[in-house]
């Protein structure tokens, strides 16, 4: 392993034409490395960067010589999509991580952020146990940004049989994602979601603004557990209040499990060397067999729009990629297979300051099929769809749409019925 300062790292000589560079996602982005990459002149031709959610300005104004790929367009990755520079691979999160694991998805260079390990040279993934280790097993070049401000997590140990070729000290602390302020709509949605979650439930939170509101609305619950793709600051509050104990989990009892940390220093300090938290890879967090064995598993995710039959679009708006398939279907199907589980899709009823309904006659893109639909929640209430016929689903969905759009939705459904009869 070589130890280099960032200014001595020459990507122009390290990379080869056509290389796919897989970089850490979200708060685990190794910014010292990614910023060095995008400012390097004379990169080999045809290189592409595979990224996940982006919460930094690193790739704003990046050179046209770099192409970008992702499994979605979350955060500032949506700007790359809007500029026509992001090629999206619309796979379930569990499927694309498996593809990196067996080499179906090629990874030539991996840029990862790690924290110093307990022993010399033993690093820890710190903020994300995701596809990067799987990709690194097949990569020609692995470069680690060693960040002393990143947490060290149980389960995040870098595998001893996966070489790191170059280690570079971080020049800044990890990205933090402060919780957004809660508005009245989010609080109302969270209140409805809370009625669907029983005591002793195991929770999964999706990505976006609503998870914090939902967490804040669960303070009166008891013995909740966490098994999630992402962990947020709000979970720390629930732990401190004695709400999250993980006491009822059949798998990983007493331990909160997640694959990615989406929060602030408060969250990072909580998980650091904490035996009550484990950072696990997608083969555990997103596995149907694992999730289905957890009783009362409640998946809480959001969407761009939902149609009158329960089809969910979490990917596109007006023909543009703004979200992802991600792990939504993995968790929805896991929740449906769990004894006492609930698959909850929560979203505001409108967009653009109330001028556009997010309950629609037909979704633009189908991320989650209506055959998987369970409960849809807006600020106007809950539409329980499981076991309902299409006409009954329509009535229930219209009831949770914004009042100003209900008549139009009813007319659209009536006209669709007339056309199908004809």
Nearest to 366 by CA among 308, 307, 286, 298: 307
Q: Are 311 and 368 in contact (CB under 8 A)?
A: yes
Q: Are 267 and 274 in contact (CB under 8 A)?
A: no
Range 2-169 classified under CATH 3.20.20.30: no
Token pair 């500032």: residue = 76
| Three-state secondary-structure class, residue 222 | coil
What pTM does this model have? 0.95
Q: Are 129 and 156 in contact (CB under 8 A)?
A: yes
Q: How far is CA 294 from the centre of its chain?
A: 20
If you write DSSP's letter for every residue of 233-287 in order, what string do you get?
A: HHHHHHHHTT-B--TT-SSSTT-EEEEEEES-HHHHHHHTT-TTEEE--HHHHT-
For 36, 106, 241, the CA distances from 216, given in Å and listed in that order, are 39, 41, 11
pLDDT of the chain along its 422 residues, tens only?
999 999 999 999 999 999 999 999 999 999 999 999 999 999 999 999 999 999 999 999 899 999 999 999 999 999 999 999 999 999 999 998 889 988 899 999 999 999 997 666 689 999 999 999 999 999 999 999 999 999 999 999 999 999 999 999 999 999 999 988 899 999 999 999 999 999 999 999 988 789 999 999 999 999 999 999 999 999 999 999 999 999 999 999 999 999 999 999 999 999 999 999 999 999 999 999 999 999 999 999 999 999 999 999 999 999 999 999 999 999 999 999 999 999 999 999 999 999 999 999 999 999 999 999 999 999 999 999 999 999 999 999 999 999 999 999 999 998 887 555 43
Domains in the chain: boundaries? 2-169, 184-416
Q: Are 300 and 344 in contact (CB under 8 A)?
A: yes
Q: Are 367 and 315 in contact (CB under 8 A)?
A: yes
Range 184-416 classified under CATH 3.20.20.70: no
């Amino acid at each position: 392993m070589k130890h280099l300062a960032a200014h001595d790292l020459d990507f122009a000589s390290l990379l080869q034409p056509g290389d796919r560079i897989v970089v850490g996602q979200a708060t685990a982005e190794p910014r010292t490395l990614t910023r060095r990459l995008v400012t390097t002149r004379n990169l080999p031709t045809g290189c592409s960067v595979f990224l996940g959610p982006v919460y930094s300005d690193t790739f704003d104004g990046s050179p046209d010589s770099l192409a970008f790929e992702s499994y979605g367009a979350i955060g500032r990755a949506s700007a790359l999509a809007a500029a026509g520079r992001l090629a999206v691979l619309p796979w379930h999160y569990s499927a694309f991580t498996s593809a990196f694991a067996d080499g179906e998805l090629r990874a030539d260079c991996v840029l990862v952020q790690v924290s110093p390990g307990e022993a010399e040279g033993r690093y820890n993934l710190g903020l994300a146990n995701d596809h990067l280790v799987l990709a690194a097993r097949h990569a020609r070049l692995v470069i680690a940004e060693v960040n002393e401000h990143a947490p060290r997590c149980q389960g995040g140990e870098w595998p001893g049989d996966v070489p790191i070729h170059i280690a570079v000290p971080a020049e800044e602390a990890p990205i933090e994602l402060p919780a957004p302020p809660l508005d009245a709509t989010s609080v109302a949605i969270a209140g409805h979601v809370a009625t669907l979650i029983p005591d002793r439930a195991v929770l999964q939170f999706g990505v976006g603004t609503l998870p914090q509101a939902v967490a804040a609305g669960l303070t009166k619950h008891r013995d909740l557990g966490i098994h999630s793709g992402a962990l947020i600051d709000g979970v720390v509050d629930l732990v401190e209040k004695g709400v999250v104990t993980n006491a009822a989990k059949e798998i990983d009892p007493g331990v909160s499990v997640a694959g990615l940390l989406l929060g602030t220093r408060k969250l990072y300090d909580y998980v650091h060397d904490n035996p009550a938290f484990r950072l696990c890879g997608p083969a555990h967090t997103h596995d149907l067999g694992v999730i289905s064995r957890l009783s009362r598993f409640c998946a809480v995710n959001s969407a761009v729009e939902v149609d009158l039959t329960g089809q969910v679009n979490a990917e596109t708006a007006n023909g543009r990629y703004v979200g992802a398939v991600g792990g939504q279907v993995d968790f929805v199907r896991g929740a449906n297979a769990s004894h006492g589980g609930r698959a909850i899709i929560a979203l505001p009823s409108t967009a653009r300051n109330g001028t556009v309904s997010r309950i629609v006659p037909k979704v633009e893109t189908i991320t989650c099929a209506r055959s998987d639909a369970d409960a849809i929640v807006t600020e106007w209430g809950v539409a329980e769809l499981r076991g309902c016929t299409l006409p009954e689903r329509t009535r229930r969905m219209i009831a949770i749409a914004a009042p100003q759009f209900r008549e139009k939705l009813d007319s659209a459904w009536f006209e669709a019925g007339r056309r199908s009869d004809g």
